[in-house]
Amino acid sequence: MAPSGSRSIKRSCQTVLYWIPVIFITLIVAWSYYAYVVQLCIESIDNIGQKIVYLLAYHVVFILFTWAYWQTIFTKPMNPLKEFHLSYSDKELLEREDRGESQQEILRRIAKDLPIYTRTMSGAIRFCDRCQLVKPDRCHHCSVCDKCILKMDHHCPWVNNCVGFSNYKFFMLFLAYSLLYCIFITATDLQYFIKFWTAEGRTHDRLLEYLNGLPDTQAKFHIMFLFFAASMFSVSLASLFVYHCWLVCKNRSTLEAVRAPAFRHGADKNGFSLGLSKNFRQVFGDEMRYWPFPVYSSLGDGCSFPTCLVNQDPEQPTSPGHNPPPNKTVVGESHQFPAKPLRESQSRLLNSAPSWTENGGAEDKERRGTSNPAMAIENET
């Protein structure tokens, strides 16, 4: 009982600690709302028209920012489908065998019917001992969540969640809108910040008299600190946002940027890149009207991804009597689909031109309904 109780207390303490960065960001955002709306717009701005424009624009950005942040935090990361988990008999067989080539033979037999192209750097099948599953392409085990996460990018302490296939679009929008939020505050607060600080050549008494031009000392403090905080956050957010835009354009995760994924023909940092437009659509979807909003519209299932591989993996035979259409490759050559066909959205990525439409048909609506990551997780459990 004692060891179990100790582990329970430890887990509870870890849970509280993991939420501290989120609570900190929430408090900063709540204070910025008060400082901007009450102290700046209501108390400091006299022009009614300017006040209304500032408040309307601010609340549009604020709603989009908080919506994206909420989605990033509370969207559960997707885990591998049951097809990638070892059966009870396979687990027993793997445990009986000595570690080495015999275990790899078992894993190769299990993986031969799965849409898997990536390997370890040594060429072995990627297997997770903790989760007892064959890792899908781009899947990694998160030590914080203690789960395998589909297309894992990184574990972000500021959202207390893994950023991966199910919420990467939300994370990108969170970065974009938080950057826009900070830039908007900096730009609209600038003239009042200058009014606070432009006191060169004045004596101390004259400075105090000059600062009385602003409503009160409390407003002056909030206006000054709001400008500093928004400016500093803008710099850090801009660098992070630009970096992740580059990752989207290259179709890489943060982990893949650090270490290129390995295939049977070797490591290939561009192994999953399909070109700029298709890389973007894989994250944000086909329909432009859903791009600005934190609603799920990514393509695929997170377990299999179209690749630009040149060499066909000999361990991925095609289905008997089935000759699937060739994929497009970077150098104009082609390879066949694996035994488990790619999902409809992935095939469309490979075989069709960009189709960014404003109005989606019944088929797209059905796809979005069945591609909801939360529903996929519920079906797995």
DSSP state of 313: P
The contacts of residue 208 (CB under 8 Å, 6+ apart) are none
Task: Count other C-beta atoms under 10 Å from residue 12's C-beta.
Answer: 10
Could you say which of 41, 156, 162, 303 is catalytic?
A: 156
Between CA 371 and CA 381, with CA 377 as vertex, the angle to 5 degrees is 140
Which pair of tokens denotes residue 242? 């630009």
Whether 145 is a known active-site residue: answer no
Task: Count other C-beta atoms under 10 Å from residue 281's C-beta.
Answer: 23
The answer to whether the beta carbons of residues 163 and 156 sit under 8 Å apart is: yes
> In angstroms, what CA-CA distances link 131 with 140, 156, 290?
11, 21, 34
Pick from 70, 82, 73, 78: which is nearest to 375 by CA?
A: 78
Between CA 338 and CA 315 the distance in angstroms is 9
Between CA 320 and CA 312 the distance in angstroms is 17
Catalytic residues: 156
